[in-house]
Structure 1
Amino acid sequence: MWRSNPIVGLMVSDLTADHQAAVRRTPDGMLRDRRDDEGRAAPAARLDIGVGTT
């Protein structure tokens, strides 16, 4: 991801190779934790939308 996003590239440019590897493994572990009995994972992001009137 950080090769396609310059902001992320700046954030991780000072990390050691070991730390960069850990950053890459983290999303894999998060998906692995969310998988069902058949090995499928359904990532989801909560989004709250508020509509107001005055």
Structure 2
Amino acid sequence: MLGWALTFFIVALIAAVLGFGGIAGASAGIAQILFFVFLVLFVVSLVARAVRG
């Protein structure tokens, strides 16, 4: 999940440098969503592991 977020972030950076604002904005939005999903799943897995022992 984090790999996909980094991939979309890099695509957004390249698109921004080349002047494709719409693609850069969309890719940055997708990267942000994926990053927050990754964080939520990571915290859930940490809590589940702590509860199990």
| TM-score, normalised with respect to structure 2 | 0.37
Q: Is the helix fraction higher in 1 or 2?
A: 2
